[in-house]
Structure 1
């Protein structure tokens, strides 16, 4: 259970950081053989890193774009009476090479009977753009290796063997939170209880939870994930949705929380009324630990205090090898305080609505899908002084490589709210915003997600399965407003037209693709609102409710991983010249994705027309779809941001023209005591 062991090691990082005198720490391997401590120094464009390795030989840490050796930016150190450090890079699975430009400043080094320790400084953004990686908010994949012997002059280091590994971290410290020590805060747990995982690659389990009796108003202050050691490697994410329901449904939700065992999410077995639980309260994904609010900020709990009493816990399990006999009891520990805080926070989900019409062709190195949180939505719901962003969790699935939450005001793009140019599906941690980021009424947010599908032979669709894709950002902000969701859908009719579709069939009508796409999309919005109206009218759980649920959750036959796509895309049929009429799902999965088709789709999903979605939490399922959905609209026009180049000293090289052989000891940086070297 390496995942669980690592998580237990992470609990030590705050103590380790304090002992080192640096701000942050991470245990890079389960046995604790290599620990790093670091402090980013943004004002001086540098970072100080201390490496503590259980070896009397060499130790190396590397900053890798993808977790592999190739392209990694490496620092190797050892002590043989004097301390040594080298700035290096890897061109393959072989010994790393020296950089022509030495950007590593060795500060100190020492060795005892068990450990080698060295501390160095390097730029966050180096002028050696060929071999040094920029460090900051983006996910950094730290590769590491150890050996019991020092390097041999003229020959270099011995092969590390199995003493190596990789760990993703956020080196700017934005993903590091201080959680309450035992007894320091009151808390309760929303979790699973021996939930049996089916023999399926992807499984979503939903269960209804009720707030414990807290007597008085309290403020939620943060959460920490609690993983079951038996199933930790299979837990991909949790989303805790708050339920906004009318008073006459409280008794029924009490019964759900008391006796309903939970069910597969969004299936015919899930009570339809659970669809009133749609406002995100907590979002956690694999690799993260949790999130804590600032000391002056809290969230109310309990409907009588402006919060929620009922919650739906969505648990996503990823079981690629379909292991059997698994039962999960993981959950989320919710911290709260009875000392009410002066400011209340909210959570806003931004991005591409989870829909099968999010399409990514196969064989793509960097395919971009874009979504819009419209200025009309922020204008309607945000206070005149705007809101402050505290933290952001970026979320995509296996094909995700880059996410960039862009910020536009008055027709001009501002610096990104958050970005991750080296996204890691297995490291999804909330990031605290180090800079003051404020969203004002009328501001537009754009979430761009880049995907790599070079290993896939068929189209990837949006959806819930791990092999489906998502493009979402969860923003914790304050002060709290009623806005909780702001995103968009692509206009399916426009890209079908550009893909060569002659006509579409919707509800028995044959229409041109653009107008057919309008009818199909708006009809889906209206259908959902009509279902909400029927549920609202019911006073008790009845056979009628079961019928509504069966109709709402009806899906086409298929595996657990594709039912969502088939259910959505089988309600439209398409006609292409010279081919029989087929469902939209069949058309998209059977078509040949040549470059013209890829280019046409790219133009539509990154700059084409979209439908806006603007959700408030007064009543999550609106009685009229037009209160939540609007469009189609053109992609917003604005003046894009021009990135500032890193200022480099005159005469510095931007990369090595040639490559040196490893460890010619005359080129080593040698330090006998802590010292500073001019770069």
Structure 2
């Protein structure tokens, strides 16, 4: 190995040096960035700044930064260490064609504290969320890719060389820094218990996608209480195959179904298929989800629903082969672990599923070879009012889980009151289906019974050679958002599909609404004119909203909706960097 692979040359030596101090700083969030907890990150933020604490199992240097795809170049990076009572910290960037760290024009990291203790280095520092430095990535509510590393030795101050960290002391992770889950300071409250709900010894198919449904009876298993936390419990080694899990509750009133397992779409009874009152939802990349203090979903006891259905989506697109070239059977006992308390809570929460209907009759269509194709679902004011039933107390949205598949690139939850759009409830412009973590809103959002909610999804199909249709598998697409809110309403889902009542063929003929789905299904050439006709139809056609509840009769209502004429879209505050006039 040549010298340049063993060391990195820092262009411009380390410009920030500070005496070590001993502050006591409290961080709201903590996350281990590696499985062995050798690298633990704490952080906190306000409207303008973010503070970090890195606790790393080394007495050498610590690397940290932000990257587009988890690689060292191009990236926005920081390198720091402790030496002879001083903390050294440098603000750098790398270019697309080089791993050499270049000194940023502006040194924007501010040292707060640093020390070495018991073989561990602790660095604390802060930065503005948006620095206006070309070498810095802005920190927003979007998903961000962190890169990290650490070495066994300090860099050489005399020549600027940083010893290579090696293959095992580096990594990357996706994270949402500004809307991340947080454990309440009072967690766990008194009288807190956990119970696993698992799919025992299921054999994952060799390839493809499948949905498994397992029925449980929590009414007889646990006393009346409230769900305050849930997390995935995945069989070790199967993390790449368990894609998504949902826990629903409903009154099946059939004891013979308890502990039964079905393929959800083709084998499950209709009563199991229609059980859709969500109480927990997890997707790949998420960790645990804690409800805020004094908030939880009612579960258990004699007044609870008779049944819970755990739905697990397995996704496996390549056979697992043993050393002899023989396909391996992969047994799985994954599921969710739920944590509940029997202590009183102040706010009973609910989950509302928003997004596009997934049904063969109302197929979502996304053309191939598109860098940015947008699809929008609507929960209309009349559907919202129906969902609130007799309790018109506003909802307080406290968290959102965004859901898409392989070609989803951005998801936004929009919020209208009358013809004026309010600030977006949440947005992720860098969405990844490998990181669908819950987003805990920093400030609860008030939702009135006559508001309009929309889920806007953008898709990138530039690598696909045929259309993508709506569906759960990763070769299909979904556009969903689960809103966690309180107080709970008898309101499970509010989904929609386009009526295509303003669809035209490329020769200018208007397609009748009742024939639109068949017409689109028979299109064989999705050329530019046909793609434009689809775009026009989606933008100008009415949307059909369907709102539903497992606890009401009738159990659903359907509405037809267009945004009011003259509606004013929300415009984000300008955060661009402007050079002041001299």
Query: Are the structure 2 counterparts of residues 434 and 621 from structure 1 closer, same or farther at C-alpha, using a change threshold of 3 Å?
Result: same
Query: Are the structure 2 counterparts of residues 111 and 278 from structure 1 closer, same or farther at C-alpha, using a change threshold of 3 Å?
Result: closer
Structure 1 contact 244–620 (Cα < 8 Å) conserved: no
Q: How do 1:79-118 residues align onto structure 2 when only pairs under 5 Å count?
A: 79-81=82-84, 82-92=86-96, 93-111=98-116, 114-118=119-123
Structure 1 contact 302–309 (Cα < 8 Å) conserved: no
Counterpart for residue 63 of structure 1: 66
Query: Are the structure 2 counterparts of residues 594 and 70 from structure 1 closer, same or farther at C-alpha, using a change threshold of 3 Å?
Result: farther
Counterpart for residue 601 of structure 1: 534
Once residues 275 and 342 of structure 2 are traced to their aligned partners in structure 1, the CA distance between those partners, rounded to angstroms, is 26
Structure 2 contact 39–55 (Cα < 8 Å) conserved: yes
Residue 401 of structure 1, CA deviation = 1.7
Cα deviation 1:494-517 (Å, max 9, x = unaligned): 44x345697xxxxxxxxx732333
Once residues 303 and 55 of structure 1 are traced to their aligned partners in structure 2, the CA distance between those partners, rounded to angstroms, is 50
Cα deviation 1:123-163 (Å, max 9, x = unaligned): 122233x3322324322211112333444555553544423
Residue 604 of structure 1, CA deviation = 3.0
* 1:384 and 2:377 matched: no
* 1:634 and 2:562 matched: yes
Of 329, 332, 344, 2:348 maps to 344
CA RMSD of aligned residues (A): 3.0
Of 195, 199, 217, 1:192 maps to 199
Cα deviation 1:503-548 (Å, max 9, x = unaligned): xxxxxxxxx7323337x6xxxxxxxxxxxxxxxxxxxxxxxxxxxx
Residue 256 of structure 1, CA deviation = 0.9
The residue matched to 2:551 in structure 1 has which SS? Answer: coil
Of 432, 435, 440, 1:427 maps to 435
Counterpart for residue 324 of structure 2: none
Counterpart for residue 646 of structure 1: 575
Counterpart for residue 143 of structure 1: 147
Count, aligned residues: 543
Q: How do 1:284-323 residues align onto structure 2 when only pairs under 5 Å count?
A: 284-301=282-299, 305=303, 307-323=304-320
Normalized per residue, the structure richer in helix is 1
Counterpart for residue 562 of structure 1: none
Once residues 207 and 406 of structure 1 are traced to their aligned partners in structure 2, the CA distance between those partners, rounded to angstroms, is 34
Structure 2 contact 409–458 (Cα < 8 Å) conserved: yes
The residue matched to 2:44 in structure 1 has which SS? Answer: strand
Of 370, 375, 378, 1:372 maps to 378
By relative contact order (CA 8 Å, sep 6+), the higher-ranking structure is 1
Residue 594 of structure 1, CA deviation = 3.1
Query: Are the structure 2 counterparts of residues 89 and 451 from structure 1 closer, same or farther at C-alpha, using a change threshold of 3 Å?
Result: farther
Once residues 288 and 40 of structure 1 are traced to their aligned partners in structure 2, the CA distance between those partners, rounded to angstroms, is 21
> Unaligned regions of 5+ residues in structure 2, if any?
1-22, 321-327
Residue 56 of structure 1, CA deviation = 4.0
Cα deviation 1:29-84 (Å, max 9, x = unaligned): 22333222212133xx1111122333444322112233234443222223344322
Residue 465 of structure 1, CA deviation = 0.6
Counterpart for residue 3 of structure 2: none
Once residues 220 and 576 of structure 2 are traced to their aligned partners in structure 1, the CA distance between those partners, rounded to angstroms, is 58
Cα deviation 1:630-678 (Å, max 9, x = unaligned): 33x334552111211238797599xxxxxxxxxxxxxxxxxxxxxxxxx
The residue matched to 2:443 in structure 1 has which SS? Answer: coil
> Unaligned regions of 5+ residues in structure 1, if any?
1-17, 503-511, 521-571, 575-583, 654-679
Counterpart for residue 610 of structure 1: 543
Counterpart for residue 180 of structure 2: 174
Residue 281 of structure 1, CA deviation = 2.1
Cα deviation 1:441-473 (Å, max 9, x = unaligned): 211111111222222222111101112111111
Residue 240 of structure 1, CA deviation = 1.2
Cα deviation 1:278-309 (Å, max 9, x = unaligned): 2222111112223233333333335952x422
The residue matched to 1:426 in structure 2 has which SS? Answer: coil
Structure 2 contact 225–301 (Cα < 8 Å) conserved: no
Once residues 478 and 73 of structure 1 are traced to their aligned partners in structure 2, the CA distance between those partners, rounded to angstroms, is 39
Structure 2 contact 189–343 (Cα < 8 Å) conserved: no
Of 136, 160, 171, 1:165 maps to 171
Normalized per residue, the structure richer in strand is 2
Residue 481 of structure 1, CA deviation = 1.2
* 1:123 and 2:128 matched: yes
The residue matched to 2:211 in structure 1 has which SS? Answer: strand
Query: Are the structure 2 counterparts of residues 346 and 182 from structure 1 closer, same or farther at C-alpha, using a change threshold of 3 Å?
Result: closer
Counterpart for residue 417 of structure 1: 425
Q: How do 1:224-623 residues align onto structure 2 when only pairs under 5 Å count?
A: 224-245=231-252, 250=253, 253-258=254-259, 260=260, 262-267=261-266, 269-301=267-299, 305=303, 307-323=304-320, 324-355=328-359, 357-382=363-388, 383-492=391-500, 494-495=502-503, 497-498=504-505, 513-517=511-515, 572=518, 574=519, 585=521, 587-588=522-523, 590-591=524-525, 593-619=526-552, 622=555
Query: Are the structure 2 counterparts of residues 320 and 229 from structure 1 closer, same or farther at C-alpha, using a change threshold of 3 Å?
Result: same
Once residues 270 and 350 of structure 1 are traced to their aligned partners in structure 2, the CA distance between those partners, rounded to angstroms, is 24
Structure 1 contact 404–416 (Cα < 8 Å) conserved: yes
Cα deviation 1:311-333 (Å, max 9, x = unaligned): 22110112121333111111222
Once residues 117 and 303 of structure 1 are traced to their aligned partners in structure 2, the CA distance between those partners, rounded to angstroms, is 47
Query: Are the structure 2 counterparts of residues 22 and 649 from structure 1 closer, same or farther at C-alpha, using a change threshold of 3 Å?
Result: farther
TM-score (norm 2): 0.85
TM-score (norm 1): 0.73
Query: Are the structure 2 counterparts of residues 321 and 53 from structure 1 closer, same or farther at C-alpha, using a change threshold of 3 Å?
Result: same
The residue matched to 1:436 in structure 2 has which SS? Answer: strand
Query: Are the structure 2 counterparts of residues 62 and 342 from structure 1 closer, same or farther at C-alpha, using a change threshold of 3 Å?
Result: closer
Once residues 125 and 578 of structure 2 are traced to their aligned partners in structure 1, the CA distance between those partners, rounded to angstroms, is 21
Query: Are the structure 2 counterparts of residues 435 and 370 from structure 1 closer, same or farther at C-alpha, using a change threshold of 3 Å?
Result: same
